[in-house]
């Protein structure tokens, strides 16, 4: 059953609704007017385009087949005016030729006819949430740009490539060093490093930025004129999504005057403790303001947390003290063991975690946990540095969700034409996901297989009805035509550069390949067949044999299992067959839950 979303967010949006059928238009108009801020209606694409130019609505909802100008022609003109315009297409099952044109227009939202008011309102609410998230992301991006500008204006900045050579400097670096930008670019960052008494510092810098991806300390360097200057340097590694270092950024504060003053005072006092305490307090204040930080003992009990960390979880810092950090982390039973193992191996653990906050809130954090060592070298405590990525994750999940809706619509169109029910593709999707997880694939990859699998037979839209729905066995010539659906499906889907659609193209192309190389269309062998295609191939055959088709009655489960065993290593991946049989009870549970009526 469709989940009812909160519809209050619709009260601030403006909607253009285009529909040529008077009865349908008036019925939906009377309902939509109760929820949205403004509603504009038109009876064809020509009127709709004129209203769009006049009012610039937030969302366009349109039928496809209409007189004067159809919905997709109108959508194409609207996309030339605003490529980011949100459009919902209302499609019937016989509109399949239009759906691929909608794909080319990058339309992501579809609702099949007859229209469910509940589903339409949910779709509008979902799109509104996504637009709000996108606006928030754009605002955050703009704020980040301003922060970067502020840092560039107020700090001394250099970017350094993996070879240690300078790839960027700002104006302040040039002014301090006395070198021009052209003279600095390409030079090693430490080319003006001063004195042999800093060799230990140099070694520590090189080791730390590669092992822990950060370093902080004082460096003495020489200007172009030969004068010494001293900078307080923080070097941080910039990493990609796989945690591989791409470059380094050095932020520097000119400490020359302070250093010279310190040296003069040291001649008489050796050390000005109050000044040292002052700078320590300043550094602690900067850390408190700029970082989401939590410190725990080795058992995971929180010792302290700063305001940024506690506010993220809706706690006060005092409420967090004594709670177990490990218990707050969700969906990872062996979190403690994994973290401590990584810290012992490399000094830190970097991962994305889901964490529970006060009042049942959930947050997704990008976290680095560092081991703090005592003087004897043992781990005394753990320091967690975090960044809240919950909204970014939610926006990405919404994008994937939109692609999933499109795939299920297209999958149901194919199943409807071949006189099979939509329950077939749902069973194949859920069982494929289960088998992928049992095989050891990640949850994200298994979820993608579930979403992409409904398009495995999309190429059948190009197969004539007399062959597709023939109740008797196909002749050799007819079967040759039927086999073309694998290539047709790949050609239809491979034109779109979207991750889920690319995976669906691979599944459509390879799900009739045999593990021993006797399949079609390319005669691929073994693991040269994509794992997602091997999984869907096995599950599709199982479900086809389990259910009634136009040309056969359902097989008993015992005969199906015997067939799978006999074709282990022939048609199917042998490891997948073993996993399938080992988990047969769960698989039959999914099949029986979605059994044909």
Please tell me the predicted confidence (pLDDT) of residue 573. 93
Report the DSSP beta bridge partners of residue 303. none
Q: Which residues, given as ranges, of the chain have pLDDT below 70?
A: 1-6, 93-97, 140-154, 192-198, 261-291, 331-334, 346, 350, 352, 389-422, 497, 550-551, 596-597
Please tell me the predicted confidence (pLDDT) of residue 382. 85
Question: Vertex 155, ends 239 and 293: CA angle to 5°?
Answer: 50
Q: What is the spatial distance between Cα 156 and Cα 175, in angstroms, rounded to a whole number?
A: 9
Please tell me the predicted confidence (pLDDT) of residue 419. 46
Report the DSSP beta bridge partners of residue 566. none
Please tell me the predicted confidence (pLDDT) of residue 333. 63
Q: What is the pLDDT of residues 332-342, one digit of tens each?
A: 666 778 778 77
Please tell me the predicted confidence (pLDDT) of residue 175. 87
3-state secondary structure of 7: coil
CB neighbour class for 489 (10 Å; exposed up to 12, middle 13-18, buried from 19): buried
Which top CATH class is 155-254?
alpha beta
Residue 497 CA neighbour count, 13 Å, CB half: 0
Topology of domain 8-139 in CATH is Rossmann fold (3.40.50)
Instruction: Establish whether the linkage from the previous residue to 531 is cis, with ω within 30° of 0.
Output: no
Q: What is the CATH number of domain 291-388?
A: 3.30.450.20
Architecture of domain 419-593: Orthogonal Bundle (1.10)
| Residue-range domain boundaries for the chain | 8-139, 155-254, 291-388, 419-593
Same CATH fold assignment for domains 291-388 and 419-593: no
CA 74 to the chain's CA centroid: 31
* 453 neighbors 462 (Cβ within 8 angstroms): no
Please tell me the predicted confidence (pLDDT) of residue 74. 92
Torsion of CA 498, 500, 506, 508, to 10 degrees: -110
CA 14 to the chain's CA centroid: 29
Q: What is the pLDDT of residues 219-259, one digit of tens each?
A: 888 888 888 888 888 888 888 778 888 888 888 888 787 77
């Amino acid at each position: 059953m469709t989940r009812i979303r909160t519809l209050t967010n619709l009260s601030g949006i403006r909607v253009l609704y285009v529909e040529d059928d008077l009865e349908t238009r008036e019925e939906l108009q009377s309902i939509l007017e109760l929820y949205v801020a403004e509603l504009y209606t038109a009876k064809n694409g020509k009127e709709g385009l004129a209203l769009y130019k006049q009012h610039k609505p937030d969302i366009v909802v349109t039928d496809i087949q209409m007189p004067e100008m159809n919905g997709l022609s109108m959508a194409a003109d609207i996309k030339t005016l605003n490529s980011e315009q949100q459009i919902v297409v209302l499609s019937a099952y016989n509109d399949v030729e239009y759906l691929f044109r909608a794909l080319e227009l990058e339309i992501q939202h579809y609702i099949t006819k007859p229209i469910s008011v509940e589903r339409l309102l949910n779709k509008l609410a979902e799109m509104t949430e996504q637009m709000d998230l996108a606006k928030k992301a754009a605002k955050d991006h703009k704020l980040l740009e301003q922060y970067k500008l502020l840092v560039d204006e107020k700090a001394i900045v250099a970017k350094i490539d993996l070879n240690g050579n300078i790839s960027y400097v700002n104006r302040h670096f040039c002014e301090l060093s006395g070198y021009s930008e052209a003279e600095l670019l390409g030079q090693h960052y430490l080319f003006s490093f001063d004195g042999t008494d800093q060799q230990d510092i140099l070694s520590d810098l090189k080791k730390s930025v590669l092992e822990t991806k950060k370093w902080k300390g004082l460096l003495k360097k020489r200007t172009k004129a030969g004068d010494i200057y001293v900078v307080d340097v923080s070097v941080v590694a910039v990493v990609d999504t796989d945690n591989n270092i791409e470059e380094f950024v050095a932020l520097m504060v000119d400490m020359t005057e302070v250093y010279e003053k310190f040296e003069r005072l040291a001649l008489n006092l050796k050390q000005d403790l109050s000044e040292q305490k002052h700078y320590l307090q300043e550094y602690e204040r900067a850390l408190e303001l700029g970082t989401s930080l939590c410190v725990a003992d080795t058992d995971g009990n929180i010792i302290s947390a700063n305001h940024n960390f506690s506010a993220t979880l809706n706690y006060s810092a005092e409420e967090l003290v004594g709670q177990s950090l490990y218990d707050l982390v969700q969906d990872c039973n062996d979190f403690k063991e994994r973290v401590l193992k990584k810290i012992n191996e490399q000094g830190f653990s970097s991962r994305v975690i889901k964490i529970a906050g006060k009042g049942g809130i959930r947050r997704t954090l990008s976290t680095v946990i560092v081991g703090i060592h005592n003087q004897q070298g043992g781990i005394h405590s753990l320091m967690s540095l975090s960044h809240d990525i919950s909204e970014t994750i939610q926006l990405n999940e919404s994008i994937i969700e939109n692609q999933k809706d499109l795939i299920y619509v297209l999958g149901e169109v194919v199943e409807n034409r071949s006189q099979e029910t939509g329950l077939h593709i749902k069973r194949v999707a859920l069982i494929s996901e289960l088998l992928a997880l049992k095989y050891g694939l990640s949850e994200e990859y298994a979820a993608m297989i579930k979403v992409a699998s409904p398009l495995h037979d999309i190429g059948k839209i190009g197969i004539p009805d007399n062959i597709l729905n023939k109740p008797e066995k196909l002749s050799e010539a007819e079967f040759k035509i039927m086999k073309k659906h694998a290539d047709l499906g790949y050609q239809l889907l491979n034109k779109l550069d979207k991750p889920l659609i690319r995976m669906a193209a691979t599944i459509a192309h390879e799900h009739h390949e045999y593990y021993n190389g006797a399949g079609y269309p390319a005669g691929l062998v073994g693991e040269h067949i994509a794992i997602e295609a091997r999984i869907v191939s096995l599950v599709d055959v199982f479900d086809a044999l389990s259910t009634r088709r136009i040309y056969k009655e359902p097989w008993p489960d015992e005969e199906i299992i015997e067939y799978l065993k006999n074709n282990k290593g022939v048609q199917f991946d042998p490891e997948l067959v073993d996993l399938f049989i080992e988990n047969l009870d769960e698989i039959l549970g999914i099949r029986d839950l979605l059994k044909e009526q």
